[in-house]
Structure formats: structure tokens, C-alpha cells
Chains A and B, each alone.
Chain A
Amino acid sequence: MKILMKDILERRSRIAGISSLVFFLALLILPFLLTNAYYLHVLILCMIYACITSAWNMIAGYAGVFSFGFQALFGIGAYVSALLSMRLGISPWISMWAGAVAAMAIGAVVAIPSLKLKLLPYICIATMCMGEIIRLAVANFTTLTRGEMGLTNIPKLFADGNRTAYYYLAVAMFVLILAVVVKIVNSPMGMSMQAMKDSQEASESLGINISRTKIRIYMIGAFMAGLVGAFYAHYICILTPTSALGSSLMTSYVAMSLIGGIGTIVGPVLGSFVITIALEVLRALADYRMIFYALLIIVTIIFLRAGIWGSVKEIFISRAERFKNRSKEQG
């Protein structure tokens, strides 16, 4: 046992690599095992949430910039791509990228003034207002967006609406976004983000340009959110301001990050899968599901402050370290 623990601590990165490989292989094989298209649909939703929650967590969990208007960037990506493909007849494969770029541009417009604010509550309020303003604008600009009537018949990415094809595209997007998040978090930039979260003053005194770092990371996250939103638009094919820009989406990202473990890579993914699947399983309970949802959040916040994955990690590392120290003492 002792040797095992020590090994695990030393080979952490390799273990992480192997287990994520297993996870992705499982995702690739699943369509062959699940014949029910509904299951695939749930998994696609899981991955959509996992992508955007990971992007949000990169900004909030790692850099400590709590943006509460992130759903708007998702919605911008969705609406821009949908409208471009509907009104101008651009292929959704191309308009998706335009949606992502639009979200990034809006992200920059919001980020440049608001992220110069250093105090967290101001950033929260500024981004939250931005989200609401965008939702209201889309809901009221009816000539273009049809308001709450919603956009329907948005062009599909695959002509026959092939679930399996969508599923594999979702896997590709999920892997890509997660890989970028991991790459950033492990880079010097990722370290500066974590430093910034702990002390902005100290990181500035060590040469980090904190507003530039924040704006950069926010724009990368916005691009991801926009891309995921565009995918969502061409997958679900119906958009309303409430479904694509509602603040309940934001609540989901926060809840999923918290329950899975904010500030970790695995946490938001775990949270997204757990909550999305749980809500589908409990569909029979209709709106009473929300009671379960609320309870889950309350219980996690009280008993698992670091979220499911964060807590597992903490327990594991402290135990492994204890073993390490003990074996050191024994020489």
C-alpha cells in the first residue's frame, strides 16, 4: 500500500494522461453500445455543458475572474451563427467560426473596461449586466431575431440530422477545448492566472501584467463559449433568448463547476456529466427536479467545499504525502 501511494504521487501526470485517454476512448466507443438515440442526445448535452463550464472555470476557477455573464457569449455565438446561415445562406460549418469570433469580439468589448476593475464584486456586476443587456437586446430586436418567438429551422450541420455524426463532432470539440484549457493552465500564463487569483498586488509586483492577462484569458474563453453556442444552435435548431441567453444557463455553469470542483480540470467535466445526466434521469419528477438540484448544491457547498473532484484530490494528496513523510522518517 505504501509503495503504491508513493508511486501514485510520483506518476500523477502519467496516470492523468492514461485515465483521460481511457475516458475519451470510452466516449468514442459509446455510440456502438448505446443504440438509443436519446442517450446520445444526453451525452451531447453533457459535452456541450462540459465545454462551456471548462471555459468558464478556466477564467473563474483558475484566474479568479468571476464573470457572471458568460451565458451571453454562448448565446452570441449561437445567434450570430444561426442568423448568418439563415439570412445569408452561409454554410453552418463556416458561420460557426464567425459566431465564435463574434463572441470573442463582444467578450473583448466587455472585458477591456470591466476587467480593469480589480475588485471582484465590480467584475461580477459588470459582467452580469452585460449578460442581461445582450439578452434584452436580442429579445427586443424582433425584426432580426424574432424576439421570444425564437429562431426556428436553423440549418443543420449534417443534412439528415444524423445523431452519431453530431455526437462525434461534439467529442472532437470537447477534446479540442479541453486540450487547449489544459495547455493554457499548464503554461506560464496558467501559472500567472493562479498567482493573480491568490494576490493581484503580489503578481503585479513580480512583473505580471494583470489586466492584459485577464483580458486575454477572457477572450479565449469567450471564443470557446461562442463556438459551443454555435454548435448548439445548429444541433438543437431552435433558439430563443431564454433558452440561449437566459441567466439560468449561468447558474448551471456555476453549479456544475462547484459540484465537480472549481479550479480543477476534471471538476467541471464531472459536474457537467453528473448534473446533466441526473436531471435527465429525474425527468419524471418534472419541475420538482429543481429541488434535487438545489439540495445537491447546498450539500456540496456545506460538506464538499472543494467539490467532488477537489475533495477526492485533497484526500488523496494529503494521504499520499503522509505516506511519503512516514517513509522518509523511516529512512
Chain B
Amino acid sequence: MGRKVLQTERVTKRFGGLTALNQVTMHVEEGEIVGLIGPNGAGKTTLFNTVAGAYYATDGKVFYDGEDITHMQPGRRCRMGIGRTFQITKPFGSLTVLENVAIGAMFGKNEKINSMSRALKEKSFVKAEEILEFMEMSHKKDAKAGTLNVPERKRLEICRALATDPKLLLLDEVVAGLNSSEVGGMVELIRRVNKRGVTVLMIEHVMKAVMQLANRIYVLNFGELLAEGTPEQVVSDPVVIEAYLGKIGQREAKRC
């Protein structure tokens, strides 16, 4: 068993009377690609947000690399090595694609930086160019991020997160909304990112992508962990079929 990069212990998140997450315990091991699936409103993105720091868990604990990060600021979590993308993409629309990525490289790695340093800026732009090259986005580098289409925005989200040199990358539905040929490209890309040594936790509805990529899958339903296991185990689990996949979904998932 590999080292646990991420571990949540009975994480609960309540918004007023609504319990979005109820006692979720899960973990991600170094080098893995772990899928997080479940119906809409199951709490997948909420779980991401408690891990990345956009929300703090109401109860329970979140550990990253053995350290308790339950109440840590999102910026610090990023600098520790947690990168994330947003389901509803949030590009810095008035900046160029290259600048978007360079910002990740500037602020996402080091705790102590000189924020007036010209050298830091130059170094970050070089790094950003490399990442855009790796992610096949170089042709768009001078475009304003606000002018990108949806697949490009999703790719930009990943580029930006990668620029922070994450050890753990949280991908929130980066495949959803892409057409079938684009899905293939994105799957390939995620695999390449993982090969670079980045552990991946991904929320995804597109079963084809999850089945191809994930080593393990967690299924959330109504804020509770419903099942976990290898992709094969999960898609044949009757509880999962009942709650999420349905008969047709299962057939499709198995075909992948």
C-alpha cells in the first residue's frame, strides 16, 4: 500500500439545515488516479472544496501528507501541493492564457516570495510556456482567457493548476461537456499528467473517462459514501446501479 497523500476522516459539511457531506472517510494514495462519482447534488464538489480549502469542514478532519489541514487557508494548501480546477471554469478573463498560467507558477509554489521581483515574474513565464507546450495550448497563449471556448477553458484550468507544481491534483469534471474525440484527448492528457508523478482525484460523470483512468472509485450519494472499489467492482455493485448508473449506464460503463 502506498503512502496516503490525502485522507479525510468523517468529514461533515452542513449548510444551515442541509447536510451536504455526512461523515465521509476516504483516502488517496501517492501516484493513484481516484475517481469520485455520484448523482448531481451528492456532495462531490463540496468534498473537493473542503479538501482545497474553499470551505472548511463542519466536522471531521482533512489530512494532507499526514498534516491536519482542516482549517488551513486555500492559498496555503495550494503552496503545500494541492492543485485544483473548477467545474464552472474561472479564468482570469482580462489576462492572456500565458499570464493565467504564469500566475500559478508565481504564487503557487513557495511560501516566501518577493512579490516585487522581476526575476520571479520572468521565471514564471518560462515555466508557463513549458506547461502550455505540455498541455498543447501554446497556440492560444496570447489570447485573452475570456475569449476561450469551453474545452479550452477546461484545459486552461488544468494548466494553471499544474503550474503550481501540485502533488495532488483535484479535477472537477474536466471531461464533462467535451465531445467524444475531445474526451479521448483529455483522457490521454490526464494520464500524462499522472505519469509526471501527480496524484489525481477526479470528479467525473463521463463513465468512459473514469473507467479508463481510475485505479479506484468512490461513489457518493446524498452526502454519504455509498461504495468504493476498483472500477469493475463499482459498476457491478447493485447499490451503485440503483442510485446512480442505472441499467443502461452500467452496460455502457462495462463496455469501456
Residues of A within 8 A of B (CB): 183-184, 187-189, 191-192, 194-195, 197-199, 201-210, 213, 263
Contact = CB atoms under 8 A, between A and B. Distances in A.
B116 A207 contact: no
A207 B95 contact: no
Contacts, number: 97
B54 interface: yes
B93 interface: yes
Contact of A202 (B90, B94, B116): B90
A203 B107 CA distance: 9
Contact of B117 (A187, A197, A202): A187
The SS class assigned to the A binding surface is: helix
Nearest to B89: A202
Nearest to A200: B90
Contact of A207 (B54, B75, B100, B121): B75
Nearest to B107: A207
23 contacts: A183-B116, A187-B115, A188-B117, A189-B116, A191-B99, A191-B121, A192-B106, A194-B92, A195-B92, A198-B91, A202-B91, A202-B92, A203-B92, A203-B107, A204-B54, A204-B74, A205-B74, A206-B104, A206-B164, A207-B107, A207-B164, A208-B75, A208-B107
Contacts of B94: 194, 197-198, 263
Contact of B108 (A187, A194, A197, A206): A206
B108 A195 contact: no
A210 B92 contact: no
B78 A207 contact: yes
B116 A206 contact: no
Contacts of B163: 206
Contacts of B160: 202, 206
Interface string B74-116: 1110110001101000111111000110111011110001011
B73 interface: yes
Contacts of B117: 187-188
Nearest to B146: A198
B104 A207 contact: yes
Contacts of B79: 207
Contacts of A207: 75, 78-79, 104, 107-109, 164
Nearest to A321: B142
A204 B121 contact: no
Contacts of B161: 205-206
B35 interface: no
B52 interface: yes
B196 interface: no
Given A205-B52, A206-B108, A208-B103, A188 B113 contact: yes
A195 B106 CA distance: 12
B227 interface: no
